[in-house]
Structure 1
Amino acid sequence: MTQVDFYILEPHAAGDRYQLACRIAEKARRAGNRVLIHTQASAESQHVDGLLWTLWEQGFVPHGLLGSADRAINPILIGDGHQDEDEHEVLINLATEVPTFFSRFDRLIECVDHDETVKAESRKRFRFYREHGYPMATHNIS
């Protein structure tokens, strides 16, 4: 059964859920996992792609856009996961809805920032996962 983790930026924490998703994706990649960052729109995917190019000055984070990147050399993929059936390790959800395909992943990560709309939508997803019996954890990020 998929482990669901909510990473919540505390009120005084810097950044947003996109930057948080990038940091978590890189940490998961370093741990040897393949990561899919699920987005709702192409513009959102492009934004995350840009962040992964510029977030760390010390080095390159291997990543690419779903459907155009070579999977063999890109352990982090970004895009609408509905169109992908190859990834099964870590899913980072940036969409407002529960991804219908999340249960094929070992782990699902939900990133929550200070935006009130994002918080409200994440509460709905939290209730869904809890009501369906998924193992869950919450991590407050300062």
Structure 2
Amino acid sequence: MTRVDFYVLPGADASARRVFACRLAEKAWKAGHKIFIRVNDAAEAGILDELLWTFRQGSFVPHSLAENRDNDPLAAVLIGTGAAPEDFHDFLINLAPDVPEDWAHYRRLAEIVDQDEAVRQAGRQKYRFYQSQGLEPATHKID
């Protein structure tokens, strides 16, 4: 069964959501997980690709854009807009506004929500969806 966690950030800054996603990916990678970060579009994927190198002084998270995976087979974190490859169904960080079609394939799923009205509304819809599927999402308020 999929474990779903909602992380609720205090502000309405998209960059704070991205940095939190990077921190979460780094923590999961250090714990031995393969992580797929799902984003809404290629521009967002590019921003996260750069940010994973710079979000923290001395940070190193082996990652790649999903479409470049063949060039970097050792990447533990993939960033993409579609479905994750089968061997990346361990941990999903979903920054896209909708529920991924393959949500049930993941062992763990993280939704990062902030106080931006559109992001909050999308988060509420996703929360209700997961509940309707018999899951009990956990909510973590981040200060």
Secondary structure, counterpart of 1:86 in structure 2: helix
Calculate the TM-score normalised by the size of structure 2: 0.90
Q: What per-residue deviation string (whole Å, max 9, x for no partner) do you get for residues 43-89 of structure 1? A: 01001111101112223221110020355421011002326333110
- Report how far residue 98 of structure 1 moved: 0.6
- State how many pairs are aligned: 142
- Report how far residue 20 of structure 1 moved: 1.0
Check the 8 A contact 2:53/2:61 in 1, yes or no. yes
What corresponds to 1:119 in structure 2? 120
- Report how far residue 5 of structure 1 moved: 0.4
Alignment of 1:26-45 (within 5 A): 26-45=26-45
How far, CA to CA, are the matches of 2:12 and 2:85 in structure 1? 36
What corresponds to 1:23 in structure 2? 23
Calculate the TM-score normalised by the size of structure 1: 0.91
What corresponds to 1:100 in structure 2? 101
What corresponds to 1:66 in structure 2? 66
Against the structure 1 CA distance between its residues 85 and 116, is the aligned structure 2 distance closer, same or farther, given a 3 Å change threshold? same
**Which blocks of at least 5 consecutive residues in structure 1 are unaligned?**
none
How far, CA to CA, are the matches of 1:58 and 1:139 in structure 2? 27
CA RMSD of aligned residues (A): 2.0
The structure carrying a bigger helix percent of its residues is: 2
**Which blocks of at least 5 consecutive residues in structure 2 are unaligned?**
none
Task: Give the share of equivalent positions with the same residue, in percent.
Answer: 43
